[in-house]
C-alpha cells in the first residue's frame, strides 16, 4: 500500500545510550525516545550520525528499532537511518524498517569510496529501491558531506526524484551550507527538505522547508518545537536567535559526547555517559565548562514556556 | 598459540567477482585467488578497497573467506580486511578470520566519522584486540586517507605498537605519500610496512619495506613478483620503471572496473565485468582505450620472463 504521509516538524536523531560494556542500552533508549515525543518531536530519525548508527552493527540497530515499536511508539513517526556502504546491508535494514511500518527511512549514500560519481550513487539507490519493491517505502536522502565527503548534487536529486517520484520524497541537509538548502527548496518544490541544524530552521521554514532534523533536539526538543509552532509570529526571530546561540555553544564541544553529558547531568543518570569508539568520553573539566556555558543560556531540558519566550 | 610468522612479498588485494545479479561469484573468486598464488603472490589481502569489501555485507565476506580455505588455500597466506565502522562488526569479522587460521588481518580505522582523534582510533583498536583476546591475532593497519580521509599518525602507530607489540605488526600505506612510508620505516624498524602501490616498491624494499600490497597485482602478479625477487640486481631500476609506467596507465582509468575489464579480456570471460554500486561498468569505448594503452606496454596476464626483462 502506498505511503502518502510525509514527515514534518522537529525530528530528533535520537542518541543511542550504551551500557558500561558498550552494548546498546535498550531500556534507556526506549525511555529517551518516548520522552522526545512527549516533548514535542514529530518524529525520530533514529540511527543517524548523532545516534552512533555506524558504530553499531545492523543486527543491533534492528533490535533497537523493534524495541521501540514494541514499546508502543507508532512506527509512522520513525525515520530510521538505513544507509550502508553495501546494497546488501542497505536492503536488509530498509526492508526491515518498511516491514515494521516505519514512516520513512533516512539513507546515507554508500560512503566508503570517495571517487564516486553521480551515476554510481544513482545506481546504488536504484538497486536498493528496486530490490525493496514496496510502495510503502519513503526514502529521505541523507546529505552530510562533513562525514561522507561527497553528497547529493542537485542534478542527482533531480534524477532520483524523477525516477522514483513517490519514493524519494525528501532530504536532510547536514552540509551546513544555506545556499545548498535554498537551492534544493527552489529547485524541488514539494520535496521535503529538512535542514540538519536548527541554525537554519526559521530561514528554512520561511522558504518551504518541512521542519528540522537536528542533533540538539535530543537536549532541547521543547524549545525547537516552540519555534516550529510559532515561526509566523513576531517573536520568531528572537526565538531563532536564542536557539542559534544555544546551538553554537553546544557544537563548540564534541557533539555526541556533549549531548550525552547534558542528559546524564540534567536527568541525574550517569548511565548516559557511555559512547562507542571512535568517540571518547569528555574529560570532567570539559564537562564542567559545558555546564557553565549552558547555565549562561538558563538551559534546562524541559523549559517552561515563559523561559522559552526569553523572559529571563 | 602465538603467531610469529610475518607476511612479506607481493600481496594481492584480490578482486571480488560478482554474478549478473550482483551476488558474489564464489567460483570465479576461488579460481582467481588460486591463480594469483600460482603467479607468485605471497599472500592475498582479500576484502580490501580493490575487493569492493565495503560494498559487501560481513556475511558475504565471511562466506567467501570460508570458500577459499575450503578450496585448499593455506589460511596462513590470507590477510582478510576485517575493519568496520563498528567494534561489533570488526570483532565478528576479525574473530572469524583468526578462527579460520588466517595469517593476519588488514584493519581499516572506523571510517564513518571524520572529526575523530588519535585517542578515539586507539580506543577502537584497543577494544577490538581485547575482545578477540587471542595471541594468534596479527593486525596490519590499513592506512588509506584517499578513502577514509584520516589515517594512522606516526604517534598513533607508536602507541598501538607499544600497547600490542606482538599483535600490531604491520601496516599497508595507501597514502601515496613516500615521505610517510619512509618515516614509518625509519621510526619503526621491524614493523612490517607494505607500500599500497608498486610505484614505491623498489624504494620501499631498499628502505626495509616487507614487499607490496597493490591493486594491480590482480593483473600483473608475475611481473611484480619478478621485481621482488630481483630488487638487489642491476636490472631492478629498469624493472621498476616498466612497472611504474604500467601502473600509471592502469590507474588513469577507474581502477576496480578497469582491473575487471582486463581480466575479462585476457581470460576471455565476460563474467568478470560486474561490479557493485557505487562503481559502474566502464563504457565500451573506454575499455577499448584501456586495451590500446596496455598494448603499448606489451601487456599480458602471464608474461614470459623474457618479456618481463624488457626485451620488446
Q: What is the DSSP string of B220-252?
A: -HHHHHHHHHTTTSTTHHHHHHHHHHHHHHHTT
Grid cell of A176 as nine digits: 551546513
Residue B242: pLDDT over 50: yes
Map residue B253 onto helix, strand or coil: coil
Interface test with B, best of A92, A151, A278 (most B CBs within 10 A): A278
Pairwise CA distance, residues B5 & B83, whole Å:
21
Q: Which pLDDT score is estimated for A311?
A: 42
Grid cell of B159 as nine digits: 602507541
Average pLDDT over residues B256-276: 98
B19 CA to chain A: closest CA distance, Å? Answer: 14
Q: Which of the residue ranges A205-209, B183-187, B302-306 would you say has the lowest mean pLDDT?
A: B302-306
In terms of CA atoms, which chain A residue is nearest residue B123?
A277
Grid cell of A42 as nine digits: 514529530
Q: In this prediction, does ipTM exceed 0.85?
A: yes
In terms of CA atoms, which chain B residue is nearest residue A277?
B124
Q: Report the residue from A60, A112, A254 with minimal CB separation from B54.
A: A112
Residue B312: pLDDT over 50: no
Q: Is B34 exposed, middle or buried (0-12, 13-18, 19+ CB in 10 A)?
A: middle
Mean pLDDT across chain A: 96
Q: Which pLDDT score is estimated for A81?
A: 98
Residue B3: pLDDT over 80: no
Pick from A218, A234, A173: which is nearest to A199 by CA?
Answer: A173
Q: Is the peptide bond before B278 cis (omega within 30 degrees of 0)?
A: yes
Average pLDDT over residues A72-99: 98
Pairwise CA distance, residues B169 & B165, whole Å:
7
B52 CA to chain A: closest CA distance, Å? Answer: 9
Pairwise CA distance, residues A192 & A176, whole Å:
17
Whether chain A has a CB inside 8 Å of the CB on B252: the answer is no
Q: Is A177 exposed, middle or buried (0-12, 13-18, 19+ CB in 10 A)?
A: middle
In terms of CA atoms, which chain B residue is nearest residue A121?
B278
Give residue A1's pLDDT band: very low, low, confident or very high (50, 70, 90).
Answer: low
- Please provide the DSSP assignment of B2-40 as one string: -------EEEE-----B-TTSSB-HHHHHHHHHHHHHTT
Residues 6+ apart with CB under 8 A from A97: A65, A78, A80, A82, A105
Residues of A in contact with B88 (CB under 8 A): 56-57, 59-60
Q: Cβ contact (<8 Å) for A55 and B111? A: no
Give residue B309's pLDDT band: very low, low, confident or very high (50, 70, 90).
Answer: low
pTM of the prediction? 0.96
Residue B248: pLDDT over 70: yes
Whether chain B has a CB inside 8 Å of the CB on A177: the answer is no
In terms of CA atoms, which chain A residue is nearest residue B58?
A89
Residues 6+ apart with CB under 8 A from A283: none
Mean pLDDT across chain B: 96
Q: Which pLDDT score is estimated for A302?
A: 86
Give residue A312's pLDDT band: very low, low, confident or very high (50, 70, 90).
Answer: very low
Map residue A169 onto helix, strand or coil: strand
Grid cell of A117 as nine digits: 560519481
Beta partners for residue A81, in sequence order: A106
- Secondary structure string (H, E, C) spanning A74-139: CHHHECCECCCCCHHHHHHHHHHHHHCCCCCEEECCCCCCCCCCHHHHHHHHHHHHHHHCCCCCCE
Q: Cβ contact (<8 Å) for B112 and A54? A: yes
Whether chain A has a CB inside 8 Å of the CB on B310: the answer is no
Pairing of β A211-213 and β A9-12 = parallel
Residues 6+ apart with CB under 8 A from A13: A44, A45, A46, A48, A49, A50, A51, A81, A213, A214, A215, A217, A218
Residues of A in contact with B124 (CB under 8 A): 277-278
Average pLDDT over residues B181-187: 98
Whether chain B has a CB inside 8 Å of the CB on A127: the answer is yes
Q: Report the residue from A49, A114, A279 with minimal CB separation from B120.
A: A279
Residues of A in contact with B120 (CB under 8 A): 277-280
Q: Which pLDDT score is estimated for B302?
A: 86
Amino acid at each position: 500500500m502506498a505511503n502518502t504521509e510525509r514527515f514534518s516538524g522537529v525530528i530528533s536523531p535520537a542518541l543511542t545510550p550504551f551500557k558500561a560494556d558498550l552494548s546498546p542500552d535498550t531500556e534507556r533508549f526506549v525511555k529517551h525516545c518516548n520522552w522526545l515525543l512527549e516533548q514535542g518531536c514529530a518524529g525520530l530519525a533514529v540511527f543517524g550520525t548523532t545516534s552512533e548508527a555506524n558504530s553499531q552493527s545492523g543486527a543491533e540497530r534492528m533490535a533497537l528499532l523493534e524495541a521501540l515499536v514494541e514499546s508502543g511508539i507508532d512506527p509512522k513517526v520513525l525515520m530510521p537511518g538505513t544507509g550502508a556502504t553495501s546494497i546488501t546491508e542497505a536492503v536488509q535494514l530498509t526492508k526491515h524498517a518498511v516491514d515494521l511500518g516505519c514512516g520513512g527511512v533516512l539513507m546515507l549514500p554508500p560512503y566508503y569510496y570517495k571517487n564516486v560519481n553521480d551515476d554510481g550513487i544513482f545506481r546504488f539507490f536504484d538497486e536498493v529501491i528496486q530490490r525493496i519493491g514496496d510502495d510503502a517505502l519513503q526514502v529521505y536522502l541523507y546529505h552530510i558531506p562533513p562525514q561522507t565527503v561527497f553528497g547529493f548534487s542537485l542534478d542527482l536529486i533531480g534524477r532520483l526524484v524523477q525516477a522514483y517520484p513517490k519514493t524519494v520524497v525528501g532530504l536532510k541537509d547536514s552540509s551546513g551550507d544555506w545556499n545548498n538548502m535554498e537551492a534544493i527548496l527552489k529547485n524541488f518544490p514539494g520535496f521535503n527538505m529538512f535542514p540538519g541544524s536548527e541554525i537554519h530552521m526559521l530561514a528554512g521554514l520561511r522558504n518551504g522547508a518541512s521542519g528540522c532534523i537536528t542533533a540538539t533536539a535530543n537536549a532541547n526538543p521543547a524549545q525547537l518545537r516552540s519555534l516550529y509552532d510559532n515561526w509566523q509570529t513576531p517573536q520568531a526571530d528572537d526565538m531563532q536567535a536564542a536557539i542559534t546561540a544555544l546551538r553554537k555553544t553546544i557544537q563548540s564541544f564534541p557533539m555526541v559526547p556533549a549531548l550525552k553529558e547534558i542528559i546524564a547531568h540534567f536527568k541525574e543518570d550517569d548511565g548516559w555517559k557511555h559512547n562507542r569508539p571512535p568517540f571518547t568520553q569528555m574529560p570532567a573539566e570539559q564537562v564542567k565548562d559545558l555546564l557553565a556555558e549552558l547555565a549562561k543560556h538558563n538551559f534546562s531540558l524541559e523549559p517552561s514556556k515563559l523561559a522559552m519566550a526569553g523572559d529571563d
